Amino acid sequence: MGRHQGQSIVTLPSARELIGQLGLDRCDDLFSGRHQAAFQACVAQGVENLMRHGTFAAWWSAVERLAITPQSLELDRDAPKSTLSASVDHTGALEQLGPWKKGPFELGPHHLDAEWRSDLKWRRLTEHLGSVSDETILDVGTGNGYLLLRARGAGARRALGIEPSAQYVMQHLALSRFFPSLPVAMAPVTCDDFVMDCRTFDTVLSLGVLYHRKSPIHHIEQLRSFARPGGRVVVETIVVEGPAGYSLMPQGRYANMRNVWFLPSKATLTSWFSKLGLLDIQCGEAVPTTPREQRSTAWSGPISLVDALDAKDPTLTVEGHPAPQRLIISARVPT
């Protein structure tokens, strides 16, 4: 199948080829019976939706220009590194897939410095969780898959991300050219479309997603249904000061974000986990988000955190709400 892109014809992949390039053909063994069938069905629908996206051909053209041969890979570092056999400038293709929100990466000669220093989040996550060696990881809302690479670098046996953003998925496809043949995969689906009650993963991550959900308790319930008995559910979210039972529900935007629904207090967040029967609840301390972690770069575009904070009082957002503070909470699923 081909499609005109500028003056050239782009040869588009088949759905089957795309499923293979996303690593999803190697994930069937994570599921069994009806759950395996449900996984295959949701993946097929997600890939079909991705290929229908109006910008798919342009993004695919950029991915296809990344004809590279990695010489060595280093995943267990702040910026996962792919050393190439030849130093070729891929700036144009990578920029076409931007803006890049999650990183950093060392891609041959390119230091891809994204808006978010996701290495700082990964560091907080591993300090909270400890080892993920030999685990199966599900990352809900994985973005371009930075944390999938870090999980593999830390010894995870398998890492699967689910991500509804077509642009993030295409960025992951580009990254897979630099980091090939890994037990890492990405499904272009929403959490709601994923395999409910599959109860298969050792650790289920949801980082920076909860406040975008209209029903945060239902979201935690979904995460629990993805984890095996005795497995872990891990959430990172924005919290505010307040007593048990208190949540801020912004009317309008929060820190320039449109779709923010509930920002609970630490006590409220803990009570949600407890209410759902999760055990061994561990709640970290709230960490303010600063321009050290989220800032504008040449790869991300001009707008970032500083534009979302009050210019005179950075403890407030531009709307007058408390500025973002994020914490990590984890718990075990009963056996």
Tell me if 34 is assigned to some domain. Answer: yes
Do 19 and 162 reside in the same domain of the chain? no
Do 321 and 212 reside in the same domain of the chain? yes
* pLDDT at 173 > cutoff 60: yes
Do 313 and 242 reside in the same domain of the chain? yes
pLDDT value of position 86: 85
Query: Which of the four pLDDT bands, split at 50, 70 and 90, describes residue 51?
Result: very high
Do 48 and 197 reside in the same domain of the chain? no
Query: Structural domain tally of the chain?
Result: 2
Q: Which two tokens stand for residue 115?
A: 């808006």
Do 168 and 270 reside in the same domain of the chain? yes
Q: What is the pTM of this model?
A: 0.96
pLDDT value of position 2: 57
* pLDDT at 23 > cutoff 80: yes
Stretch 80-89: mean pLDDT, rounded?
92
pLDDT value of position 85: 86
Do 20 and 156 reside in the same domain of the chain? no
The answer to whether 308 and 285 are in contact (CB under 8 A) is no
Tell me if 267 is assigned to some domain. Answer: yes
Do 216 and 285 reside in the same domain of the chain? yes
pLDDT value of position 246: 98
Do 34 and 148 reside in the same domain of the chain? no
pLDDT value of position 9: 74
CATH code assigned at 191:
3.40.50.150
Q: Please write the tens of the pLDDT for every residue from 216-228.
A: 999 999 999 999 9
Tell me if 305 is assigned to some domain. Answer: yes
Dist. CA 103–CA 276, nearest whole Å: 33
Tell me if 41 is assigned to some domain. Answer: yes
Stretch 97-113: mean pLDDT, rounded?
97
Do 131 and 277 reside in the same domain of the chain? yes
Query: Which of the four pLDDT bands, split at 50, 70 and 90, describes residue 4?
Result: low
Do 179 and 40 reside in the same domain of the chain? no
33: enclosing H helix or E strand: helix 33-52
* pLDDT at 1 > cutoff 70: no
Query: Which of the four pLDDT bands, split at 50, 70 and 90, describes residue 87?
Result: confident
pLDDT value of position 6: 54
Q: Is the N-terminal amide bond of 104 cis, ω within 30° of 0?
A: yes
Dist. CA 5–CA 198, nearest whole Å: 41
Residue 218: CB partners within 8 Å, gap ≥ 6? none
Tell me if 83 is assigned to some domain. Answer: no
Tell me if 325 is assigned to some domain. Answer: yes
Query: Which of the four pLDDT bands, split at 50, 70 and 90, describes residue 238?
Result: very high
Tell me if 76 is assigned to some domain. Answer: no
- What domain range is 140 assigned to? 115-332
Do 62 and 180 reside in the same domain of the chain? no
* pLDDT at 118 > cutoff 80: yes
Do 39 and 168 reside in the same domain of the chain? no
pLDDT value of position 88: 87
Tell me if 12 is assigned to some domain. Answer: yes
Mean of per-residue pLDDT scores for the chain: 96
Stretch 5-30: mean pLDDT, rounded?
88
Query: At which of 31, 47, 67 does a domain end?
Result: 67
